Structure 1
Amino acid sequence: MSPDEAGQQGVTPGRLRDLVVLCAVVVLLMSAVSVANLSVPALAASGLHPSTTEQTWFVDAFVIAFACLLLPAEMLGARFGEERLLVLGLALFALASLIALLAPGMGMLIASRGLAGIGAGLALPQSLSVLLRRSPGHRHAALVAAWTASTSVAGLVGNGLGGLLIASGGWRSPFAWTLPLTVVLLVLVVSVVGMRRPRDPHATLDLPGTALFVLAAVAALVTLIEAPNLIGRPLLLAVPAVVCIAAAVAFWRVERRALHPLLHLDVFRSPVVRAAALGIVATFAGLFTLFSLNAHLVQTVRGLNAAVAGLALVPVSVAMFVVTYATVPLVRRFGLSAIVAAGLLVSAAGYGLVAIGLEGPFWGYEAAVVVVGVGAGLCSSPLSTRLTMEYSVTGGRAGAGVNSTLRELASATGVGIVGVALALTMPGAATGAAERAAVTSAAGGVFAGVAALLVVCCLAMLLDVRAARGR
């Protein structure tokens, strides 16, 4: 292929460099959640003595901030320049790693995780927006698939390397590596990607919509995470729940009237978009219940170390990565609905197998999580691609923020559900056999519930799409 032909096909050295660097950004940012999940048992045994709720906030402070900024970050990128937001986000992520290294207590540590989430939330949507803006339209589907596959690589890196680092150097050691890696990647972004896009001072920011969205999301997750602590004080627990409902209703009303809304609600009138959104939420909520419980199941129940806990999830990431690329021809041949439905049902079977084999041989547990990875791989890329492309057409933006927001809110919900289940089954400071029994009981209930949710989600998706075809 000549240089001219390569340029026409969208395959040029410059675009390839952009793809490599920006996918590396995705791997760095997304691996942070996997590392945090693996760190929880080591953190619980550390001198900081975190409560079960504080352990949940250690993970979810990052995910909540991350999820709440993904949609506004798209509008901020248009206003101030996507490359500038990308650089700012990476700088904040590096600063958060430094603070986590030095944190003397749980308050500062949780705050550092929130700051890291802000940085990741600002940076991640820009990575896909820049890729799509700099490439011809016929390359977009392939770029979204590559970008999505990077999240599987992030799981591989976060679980594999993160577990080894924690086992050898304790829960702070991943931050010692993240800091210099982020600085190096920041330099690469500036030198390779550059700052080519000028600011657009006329780009509109939906400040009321942004404020209401953040308020509703945070209130919902506060309600979930704090439920075990406030279960005996229902009036106090009702406060964040009422705030969540009121903010969500107000957000819906504001967005319907806004000229430049944060979220184009009309997009979700399409059954295809609704099905994609529902599938993404169910898939990633399930995955993060597995990621959160895996560290406890491997370390607390089976008595193995963090390195083994991390490596135990590597097959999930490998399966997702391999299957993600196989879905492209499968979707062409059998259709999106059939492949996604198969993925949801395979995932449900995997979670059922995990629930059944919690106390069985380790190879059985590994086989079950591979089944989960295969199912998630069948779902994640087709759903993300469809949602991103449909939103791009109707909403006028890349759609990366909507896709990533759904994923992260689902992830935070999955982590929160695990925290609630553990808190309810592990009263007080349980240790030894009591702690192992509590973790096993919580995991069995959670995984059975996830399997049932995925089956219901599959049926709802198929009914929605079938009804749309009959109109």
Structure 2
Amino acid sequence: MTSPPSSVAQRRTPLRGHPIATLVAVSLGLFMVGLDATVVSIANPAIATSLNTSFVQLQWITHAYLLGLAVCLILGGTLGDRFGRRRMYIVGVAAFAVSSIAIGLVGSATGVIAFRAIQGISAALLMPQTLSLLRATFSREKFGMAVGIWGGVSSVAIAAGPIVGGALVATLGWESIFFINAPIAVFTIVFAALVIRESVAGTSSVRFDVPGVILLALGLAGLVLAIVQSEDWGWNDMRTIGLLVGALCVLALFVLVEGRSSHPLLPLTLFRERGFSIGGLAVAANFFALLGVTFFLSLFLLNLRGVDGVTAGVMLLPLSAVSIIASPIGAILVSRIGPRITMTVGLALVAVSLGALTFTGVDTPYVAMAVPFVTLALGVGLTMTAGADSIVGSAPVHLAGVAGGFQATMLQLGGALGTAVFAAVVGAGAARESADLPLDHAQADALAQGIVPPGMSGATAEAAQDAFLAGMHEAMLVGAIVTGAVALLAGTLLRRPGRHSADEVVLETLEGAVGAR
């Protein structure tokens, strides 16, 4: 007697569609991306030394990844809806691994930047599928538990990144932080192919806003390129001005196209809600500060203070480890007092912590830095949950996926602009304060990374250190002003009487972080 086809399939793949196995499969890919998000900051000085990168090239190693991720997140979710989330997840993991290996092998700064962009696009392809697959696999009653575990895996990966990165760079070289993705990806692909059941949106009518994707990509890339290159070209240079004007025109055209599109990448009607608009600003300002600070604190610790990679990772651990508890605390506060106060307090904490870091020097005791680190991480967590509740909660149910994609895009865009603006401010400040020092162009470029040229006398070396610190302090002050201004906007303009439960806020935060559909 022949068994029914379903019985045969079940016997062949007993774990196919199993909820726990699916959770493990998507968590593996998420862990790989989360680890990569923070491990690179520790490796930046080693990459700069190995490839002899300019300061602008070093920035683009971070920016290329963030831009690829920001521009393609919403598209990545749409591709999964249309062609299958399991299929797109596996393709994304494979592309992430291949691009990671290429980064370690390419041997040039230009090549690293190009493959970092591909790596970001790959992450944008796999990340939205993780929660979509969990939604399709877990029952409504157990979905919250699954998302909680999912979020814990992401937090642990992000917290472990600096320490793992420091250890790998010190023992195996900076290339190893990318090569480590290969074995993780191979296991993830095989396991996912065996246990994940395919899931689609249930319709073949999902359409792509190709003009919107192209215009948004060009506009954001031009904007960040202008800010990054301003450190070399100068703000009065026609190339900088032309790029800025061109980028703004392209973004304005994007708005016009979206307003007339029957299937827009981002429906403009969502911005009529204050919670959606201000929540987007808050998320962007939040990661503007966080990624800008992280980029330069790593350079400060490794280059100026001269600590080793593992020690730097441990010193920066509060910035990522506190996030494990900050988001649940934020969820409780949002559920009890609402997003307005929580968001305002969170951004205010970020601003205060950046202000405190303006007193950091070469000989500053670690505890004087650790306290602002903890305050910053707590403020980031509160703002993230309040921003998610405002953005996703302000959108209609049928546009919740688009709202999550918008949140994730603002997060990545804020991070890209943060590192770009901080770098421009640090570079300008260091150049101004070191104008009287005998530095050639290469030495001035190195100083903007916290590298004091060798062979300087005591007094001259101290002046060079002070020049970098002056630029870094000015950048921290800019971050404090930006987050403080958005905190003021949130406190005065955000009005939303409705409140969600703590579990709902946590779910919105995690879904929005990857643009889940």
Tell me the TM-score normalized by structure 2: 0.82
Match of residue 36 from structure 1 = 40
Shift of 1:411: 0.8
Shift of 1:33: 3.0
Matches within 5 A, 1:242-253: 242-253=245-256
Instruction: Report the AA paired with residue 462 of structure 1.
Output: G
| SS of equivalent to 1:205 | coil
Name which of structure 1's ranges 225-234 and 59-68 shifts more when overlaid on structure 2: 225-234
Instruction: Report the AA paired with residue 410 of structure 1.
Output: G
Match of residue 207 from structure 1 = 210
Matches within 5 A, 1:179-218: 179-197=182-200, 200-218=203-221
Match of residue 377 from structure 1 = 381
Measure, in 1, the Cα distance between the counterparts of 2:166 and 2:401.
37
| SS of equivalent to 1:439 | helix
Shift of 1:175: 1.4
Corresponding position: 1:419 with 2:423: yes
Q: CA RMSD in A?
A: 2.4
Shift of 1:140: 6.5
Corresponding position: 1:325 with 2:328: yes
Contact kept, 8 Å, 1:159 with 1:314, in 2: the verdict is yes
Measure, in 1, the Cα distance between the counterparts of 2:202 and 2:464.
54
Corresponding position: 1:279 with 2:282: yes
Name which of structure 1's ranges 220-229 and 238-247 shifts more when overlaid on structure 2: 238-247
Measure, in 1, the Cα distance between the counterparts of 2:242 and 2:54.
22
Measure, in 2, the Cα distance between the counterparts of 1:439 and 1:139.
51
Determine which of 23, 27, 34 is the counterpart of 2:31: 27
Measure, in 1, the Cα distance between the counterparts of 2:191 and 2:271.
37
Determine which of 457, 466, 471 is the counterpart of 1:442: 471
Instruction: Report the AA paired with residue 367 of structure 1.
Output: V
Corresponding position: 1:97 with 2:100: yes
Corresponding position: 1:461 with 2:490: yes
Match of residue 290 from structure 1 = 293
Match of residue 4 from structure 1 = none
Shift of 1:396: 5.4
Instruction: Report the AA paired with residue 335 of structure 2.
Output: R
Structure showing greater radius of gyration is 2
Corresponding position: 1:157 with 2:186: no
Contact kept, 8 Å, 2:82 with 2:201, in 1: the verdict is no
**Aligned residue pairs: how many?**
455
Q: Cα distance 1:387–1:135, how it changes in 2: closer, same or farther (>3 A)?
A: farther
Corresponding position: 1:50 with 2:79: no
Corresponding position: 1:76 with 2:79: yes
Query: CA offsets, 1:293-329, max 9 Å, x none?
Result: 1211111221101212222221122211112122333
Q: Cα distance 1:465–1:400, how it changes in 2: closer, same or farther (>3 A)?
A: closer
Tell me the TM-score normalized by structure 1: 0.89
Shift of 1:120: 0.7
Instruction: Report the AA paired with residue 361 of structure 1.
Output: P
Instruction: Report the AA paired with residue 19 of structure 2.
Output: R
| SS of equivalent to 2:208 | coil
Name which of structure 1's ranges 184-193 and 345-354 shifts more when overlaid on structure 2: 184-193
Q: Cα distance 1:178–1:369, how it changes in 2: closer, same or farther (>3 A)?
A: same
Structure 1: 5+ residue stretches without partners: 1-12
Instruction: Report the AA paired with residue 207 of structure 1.
Output: V
Corresponding position: 1:263 with 2:263: no
Q: Cα distance 1:96–1:21, how it changes in 2: closer, same or farther (>3 A)?
A: same
Measure, in 1, the Cα distance between the counterparts of 2:480 and 2:145.
30
Measure, in 2, the Cα distance between the counterparts of 1:264 and 1:303.
49
Contact kept, 8 Å, 1:267 with 1:394, in 2: the verdict is no
Shift of 1:285: 0.8
Measure, in 2, the Cα distance between the counterparts of 1:437 and 1:325.
40
Shift of 1:137: 5.6
Query: CA offsets, 1:18-42, max 9 Å, x none?
Result: 3343244233213323222211111
Corresponding position: 1:313 with 2:302: no
